[in-house]
Amino acid sequence: MKTLYYNGDFVPMTQEDATFEALLVADDGTIAFTGSLDEARCRAAGAQEIDLEGKAVLPGFIDPHSHLTGTTQYISTASLSDCTSFDDIVDALTAFIEKRGITAEGVVMGTGYDQNFLVEGQHPTKDVLDRASREIPIFIVHASGHMGVANSRSLELVGVTAETPDPEGGLYGRVEGTTEPNGYAEEPATLFNFYAMCQPRMNLDVPAMFGEMQDYYVENGVTTAQDGATQPDFADMMAAFARAGKMKLDIVGYPMDGHGVEGMLERNADFDSQDYIGHFRLGGIKMFLDGSPQGRTAWMTEPYEPGEDGATDYVAYGTMTDDEAYAFIRSGIDTNHQVLCHCNGDAAGDQLIAQYKRALEDSPNPDKHKLRPVMIHCQTIRRDQYQAMAEIGMIPSMFTSHIWYWGDIHLKNFGPVRGGRISAVRDALDAGLPFTFHTDVPVIAPKMLETVWCAVNRVTKGGAQLDEDQKIDVFNGLKAITINGAYQYGEEDRKGTLEAGKLADLAILDANPLKVDPMDIRSINVLETVKEGESVYRRA
């Protein structure tokens, strides 16, 4: 049935001051008309009419980087995000074990701890987690997703011992003065070993959870989401969900380097396309080159501020050699796949730009300049790097919420100048780049309006004002989660603005972000989310 929306504050995102009186949705879920209410009614015989009563209507928000499959942690793990001490962590884990009746045959995963906000000021160790249980395997994951801690039983099950070497691009913590592991693990080269141990023991019923996993997005106005480091089992599972009609929104997967990329693409070849099947497709391939700035593992060209060890030359490290990075990028370009790459530190950014340029020069693919590669996170990227990205058509997808959540930590780790210009959005705008904003779910919830609030205001949780020269206006912030997001996915012809012929993906809000005080943007509520003309979320 056709649907006519009227009496709303329409924000089509075509121009800053553009608006219209009515929007007509066709039977096929596309926008049939935007313009005057009288003309819309002339075209809308038999249409259902919806009086918006002044609500704001924007294009459905587009998530340019997150981990949809990671939302299982919201449902199945112990939340440690409110813990402020080792004792809090032990109490939270103990309560989780008791509530769930977990035995030695099971496992406990905890998520969201951050040593920056613990009174001890450091990561816990296996000895701390052993206080919750020595018999049940326990593994907790840092808020950034780049570090974790295992108890003694988990170390035993994974086989990490005093003789276990640190893998390339990662490390295991050691008891001081020995090689005995203390439970700490850094970067995916170590973390995936613990995930592989945990997942079978968790007995997750993902099909039963899948609707709830998607709800985290649609409740925040998101109509296109990403699974940004897709694992083989989840790639196959989401393909099956799509064929079974279980998708509420469009989901784009990116098979992860080191996890059988070719196999995932081959098994799901029908989804390896710009066209969705049942709201799912594979958009390209994913790699990462460094770690987390708040965890001091982002790879930098200049040293961090001295930490607990007093070191004045620490710059962290990369996760791949130049030749390894080149080979993966080249494989993507040669096979006509978009490459997404995690880069937080500017040294990692230098490596990505250099190796992408090298692969571009060498690849015979005639369409190699149309692939729109993406640098993910971009926390400390320099002005000259944004200019270099523009030269090769590389898109910065920026985790601007770092400004609020970890801005105070960045000031501590990098000092007032470098720390003050994290998420340097203005530099990206000046370089003419179609930047996007993301939340890296499950690191934080997919609150897309909060990403705009952070970029516009640049205020930290502690009340510090970061570099005001990097502020941007609200309209350009909204572009980052609408039309620019569509451009990143190569879908700007069907998403990102409210125009006739595009999909009727709508975010209906209780206020227009362009008309409120910029400090109030993140307080705006999503009242309803519409995907291709169908309501997929309505606030109670």
Alpha-carbon distances of 292 from 115, 316, 339, 346, 424, rounded to whole Å: 13, 10, 20, 12, 17
pLDDT level of residue 316 (50, 70, 90 thresholds): very high
The two three-digit tokens of residue 326, written as one number:
């080149």
Mean pLDDT value of segment 404-419: 97
Give the tokens for residue 471: 């502020």
407-436 mean pLDDT:
97
Q: Are residues 486 and 528 in the same domain?
A: no
Mean pLDDT of 297-324: 93
Segment 129-152 shows an average pLDDT of 96
For residue 144, is it within any domain? yes
* Last residue in a domain, options 159, 180, 202: 202
Q: Would you tell me how many other CB atoms lie within 10 Å of the CB of residue 446?
A: 26
Order of all β-strands in the sheet with 374-377: 284-288, 338-343, 374-377, 395-398, 436-437
Mean pLDDT value across residues 353-358: 98
| 372 belongs to a structural domain | yes
Q: pLDDT band for position 248 (50/70/90)?
A: very high
Query: Is 90 exceeded by the pLDDT of residue 412?
Result: yes
Phi/psi at 329 (5° precision):
-60, -45
pLDDT of 311 reads 85
| 174 and 240 in a common domain | no
Q: Rounded CA gap, 495 and 493, in Å?
A: 6
User: Do 354 and 464 fall within a single domain?
Assistant: yes
Residue 412: which residues within 8 A CB-CB, separation 6 or more? 305, 419
Confirm whether 85 is domain-assigned: no
Q: What is the mean pLDDT of the chain?
A: 96
369 and 407 inside one domain: yes
Tell me which of 202, 227, 247 is where a domain ends: 202
Tell me which residue has tokens 């609200």: 474
* Of 341, 290, 343, residue with least CA distance to 317: 290
Same-domain pairing of 173 and 257:
no
Q: What is the dihedral of CA 136, 142, 143, 144, to 10 degrees?
A: -140
Residues 385 and 335 in one domain: yes
Q: How confident is the model at residue 97 (pLDDT cuts 50, 70, 90)?
A: very high
- Count the neighbouring beta carbons within 10 Å of the beta carbon of residue 198: 23
Q: Looking at the structure, tell me whether residues 285 and 413 fall in a common domain.
A: yes
Number of domains in the chain: 3
pLDDT band at 342 (very low <50, low <70, confident <90, very high): very high
Per-residue exposure over 95-115, b if at least 16 CB sit within 10 Å of its own CB, e if not: ebbeeeebeeeebbbbbbbbb
pLDDT tens-digit series, residues 146-173? 999 999 999 999 999 999 999 988 999 9
Residue 87 banded pLDDT, cuts 50, 70, 90: very high
Q: Which of 221, 219, 200 is nearest to 211 (CA)?
A: 219
* Cα dist from 225 to 65, 222, 282, 363, 489, whole Å: 8, 7, 12, 30, 11
Q: How far is CA 474 from CA 184, 373, 389, 514, in A?
A: 41, 25, 24, 6
Q: What is the CB neighbour count within 10 angstroms for residue 522?
A: 19
Evaluate if residue 308 carries a pLDDT over 90.
no
Name residues whose C-beta falls within 8 Å of residue 45's C-beta, 6 or more positions apart in sequence.
none
482, part of any domain: yes
- Whether residue 87 lies inside any domain: the answer is no
Please, which pLDDT band fits residue 309 given cuts at 50, 70 and 90? confident
The whole-number pLDDT of residue 253 equals 98
Average pLDDT of the segment spanning 247-267:
96
What is the average per-residue pLDDT within 449-467? 98
Task: Tell me the HSE value of 131 on the side-chain side, using a 13 A CA sphere.
Answer: 11
- Predicted local distance difference test score (pLDDT) of residue 413: 96
CATH number of domain containing 182: 3.10.310.70
**Whether residue 460 is found in the same domain as residue 526:** no
d(CA 485, CA 492) in angstroms, rounded, equals 8
Structure tokens at 296: 């001091």
Question: Which residue, of 202, 224, 259, is where some domain finishes?
Answer: 202
Q: Give pLDDT, residue 244.
A: 96
- Residue 305 and residue 263 share a domain: yes
Please, what sign has the CA dihedral across residues 475, 476, 481, 484?
positive
Q: Are residues 382 and 262 in the same domain?
A: yes
Give 65's pLDDT tier (boundaries 50, 70, 90): very high
**Residues 293 and 276 both lie in one domain:** yes
H or E segment and range at residue 354: helix 346-362
DSSP 203: T
DSSP label at residue 168:
T
Same domain, 399 and 526: no
Residue 425 sits at the vertex; the CA angle it makes with 419 and 429, to the nearest 5 degrees, is 145
Q: Which of 225, 293, 238 is nearest to 66 (CA)?
A: 225
CATH no. for residue 11?
A: 2.30.40.10
Report the C-alpha gap between 47 and 55 in whole angstroms.
Answer: 20
The residue segments making up the domain with residue 118 are 107-202
Could you tell me if 6 and 49 are in contact, meaning their C-beta atoms sit under 8 angstroms apart? yes
For 360-397, what is each residue's pLDDT tens digit?
999 999 999 999 999 999 999 999 999 999 999 999 99
Q: Is residue 62 part of a domain?
A: no
pLDDT in tens, 190-224: 998 999 999 899 988 999 999 999 999 999 999 99
* pLDDT tier at 66, thresholds 50, 70, 90: very high
270 φ, ψ (degrees, to nearest 5): -65, -25
Asked, for residue 233, whether it belongs to a domain, the answer is: yes
Q: What is the mean pLDDT of residues 87-108?
A: 96
* C-alpha triplet 182, 184, 185: angle, nearest 5°: 135
Q: Is 166 exposed, middle or buried (0-12, 13-18, 19+ CB in 10 A)?
A: middle
> Is 254 domain-assigned?
yes
Residue 1 in this model has a pLDDT that exceeds 90 = no
How far is residue 135's CA from residue 146's CA, in Å, rounded to a whole number?
25
> How much of the chain, in percent, has pLDDT values that exceed 90?
94
